[in-house]
Amino acid sequence: MSASNERDRTHAGVALARDYRTPDGQPDPLSALDQPRIGAPLSRVDGLQKVTGGARFAAEFALEGMVHAALAYSTIARGRITTLDTAAAEAAPGVVLVMTHDNAPTLQSPPVFLTTAQGAAGDDHPVLQNDQVHWNGQPIAVVLAETPEQAEHAASLIRAEYAPEPAVTDFRTAATREPDNVLGGPPSVSVGDAEQAFGTAPRRVDAIYRTPRHNHNAIEPHAVTLAWHDDELMLHDASQCVDHVAYSLAQVFGIAESQVHVSSPFVGGGFGSKTLWQHQILAAAAARVADRPVRLALSREGVHRVVGGRACTEQRVAIGADEQGHFRALIHTGKAAMTAHNNLPEPFTQATRCLYGADHVQLAIRVADLDMLANTFMRAPGESVGTFALESAIDELAEQLDLDPLELRRRNEPERDPTSGLPFSSRHLLEASRAGAERFGWDQRSARPGERYEGEWQIGLGCATATYPYMRMPGAAARITLSRSGAARVDVAAHEMGMGTATVQTQVAAARLGLPVEQVRFNYGDSSLAGVVLAGGSQQTAAIGGAVIAAHRALVEALLELVDGDSPLAGLTIDEIECRDGGLGAVADSARFETYDRILARAGRDELAIEADAAESEELSHFSMHSFGMIFCEAAVSAVTGEVRIRRLLGSFDCGRVLNAKTAASQFRGGMIMGLGLALMEETQFDTRSGRIMNPSLAEYHVPVQMDVPEIEVMWTDIPDPHTPMGARGIGELGITGVGAAVANAVYNACGRRVRELPITLDKLL
């Protein structure tokens, strides 16, 4: 086990054996992943552009004749617009257009995420097509003006009157229903008779845990700069799914997908929110009406009004165990808020499906349809809030049994997936837990809460398991272009939202091609490039990796076809070839080698370009595949004020092979910091009387800042998963999972106050 901090990078650059296997179990002779560049802490290839201002984000493109857009928002949760007075706005300085439902072009309803293969919309509401209002904050008008200030001023002059209709806005009293599906699967899962087994178990915990709404607050607010060229639409968007947005906008405007071009070279944070919302549709519609390029950059308030976030949940976790702590019954049920116009029940039981080996299991999610802005993905949807409930309940049971919380978890470690019955592709959670506990000093934890003091501060330690599933979505493809100069370019319609995609994929491609990283360029962020890739579900790295593997193999086959009888490679098959030192060589004979330059020169070619689709991801049908980890937290609680200060966090992870030590550490720390926000401060204040978000700004919606963040140490097993491309599993969403419970458990160990409703604020500790 190696830490990834500056003091200890012993894993970085270590040569590892060729252990990648294809989904059918065959070795991949072209993997070349034993080269030192895999795992090395390579600095971000786009870092210089970003720190020097050379990277242009969606709201930084300037188009000739461009105007600026601003939105006006509804102030009721449900009803009709009876009067919309735009006269003052139209007469304001610089105004080019005021567009409402009275003069908007005909638009089709956008395809919702998870309802079609490439749907990207947050909801299926008609956009500015009638006088209906569906949530408090819905856009009711668009203003175009020569400057942003003129557009915002004019939008403030619009006056609306409404005929309100009864709205459902109170989650506590709303009726619930069983959703059609949860992430495409069943909303409930049962193994045996959990309620009966729970009722007869000698040791039991049965508690309700609640989590609030959360809103997205990426450093880069949502923005788009776009223009129509005849019937073709060009967008510079802040997007984590360029192909999905292109497809969805084509459906809205009734044009071919090939007529929509989405460019998104840099994204200042996405976390699940940078998909398709009404602002892109409205900007494109207004640009068409005005026949001018348009830039629309949402304000912080605008993001809260138009872009969905995480839904609130109420969860019951009931665990029945024998006297030794073995789980006889594990029940995790509850409800989440949703709307009838989207397709994302917050999947809070996902982690419970795979973590513990209970004899009987019952999992179920119900939803309450509210008249609100549609909820959406937010970093580790389901797992981040579900692990708060599950891991808090396990801590409560451990205390009842007088067991160390780590020991209770160890006693319920499953041999196979407890709900699917599949074998785990790779699971080294116990190793990660042991190493993390040793590094953190877990043996210093007091078994009795409230025993350790430092002045007015009560000190406690807590832990919680982290997990997030491995996924590899279909549709990925890659194009590799190899030139006689020895340089290579890899084109994939992928995304860089700050997680290091471009850097890691440059390393992977360089390793496969046997080239220095300086001679490889990874080209991404454009819907015109190869494949359909989504930066979500922590699956983009695996999806791209599968595509690059396929394209690389096809490239080597094409190079061998160019080989003539005078080549030292003549007669060799692809299974006898490896890529090294800027060329192809025989695996069994180091003397049989030829550079790419020489192969192309012999064939009279300046370059060779090959595109290939990723092989279908069959691994998930054979194995239960997840990343795991253990989060350790040290909390201090003031006995005088109830203030909570987190003094240390450590995450010890089992996530397969780590492809870049530096970007992985950054991803883990970022997720854990977001977990601190979830635990201690993040909460969307929602007025149940009006359905309005009351704190739509960073002044009132609190996220962790520098002074809130303690020392964070991360470490990992670095044991490759033999059933994934490159041996790696996703890490982007793993870091946030478990943090909420680890903090809550540490707070309890410090002061003896059990908090079952996030965030952990002063009023819950006094």
- Active site (catalytic) residues: 733
Degrees to nearest 5, angle at CA 8 with 7 and 14: 145
Return the HEC string of 391-410. Answer: HHHHHHHHHHHCCCHHHHHH
At residue 263, what are phi and psi to the nearest 5 degrees?
-115, 135
Signed CA dihedral, 232, 238, 243, 247: sign only: negative
Give dist(CA 603, CA 299) in Å, integer: 56
CA gap 342, 325 in Å, rounded: 41
Is the distance from CB of 218 to CB of 271 less than 8 angstroms? yes
- The answer to whether 561 and 265 are in contact (CB under 8 A) is no
Beta-sheet pairing, 95-99 with 139-145: antiparallel
Beta-bridge mates of residue 481? 489, 609
Dihedral-angle region of residue 726 (phi above 0 means left; psi in -120 to 50 means alpha; beta otherwise): left
CB burial of 443-468 (b: ≥16 within 10 Å; e: otherwise) equals eebeeebbebeeeebbbbbbbbbbbb
Both tokens of 273, joined, read 């929110």
- 137 CB contacts (<8 Å, ≥6 apart)? 73, 74, 304, 305, 306, 373, 692, 693
Burial of 533 (0-12, 13-18, 19+ CB in 10 A): buried
Q: How many CB atoms lie within 10 A of CB 705?
A: 11
How large is the angle between the packed helices 739-751 and 661-680, nearest 10 degrees? 50
- β-sheet with 583-586: strand ranges across: 577-580, 583-586, 593-595
Sign of CA dihedral 236, 237, 241, 244: negative
Q: Could you give the 3-state DSSP secondary structure of residue 293?
A: coil
DSSP state of 518: G
Alpha carbon of 357 to those of 415, 539, 591: distances in Å?
8, 26, 54
Structure tokens at 521: 């360029």
Q: Phi, psi at residue 653, to the nearest 5°?
A: -120, 150
- Distance in angstroms (rounded) separating the CA atoms of residues 738 and 468: 10
Buried b (16+ CB within 10 A) or exposed e, 84-119: bebeebeebebbbbbbbbeebeebeebbbbeeeebb
337, 408 in Cβ contact below 8 A?
Answer: no
Nearest partner of 166 among 82, 78, 81, 80, judged by Cα: 78
Residue 290 in tokens: 């005005």
Q: Residue 581: CA atoms inside 13 Å, Cβ hemisphere, count?
A: 12
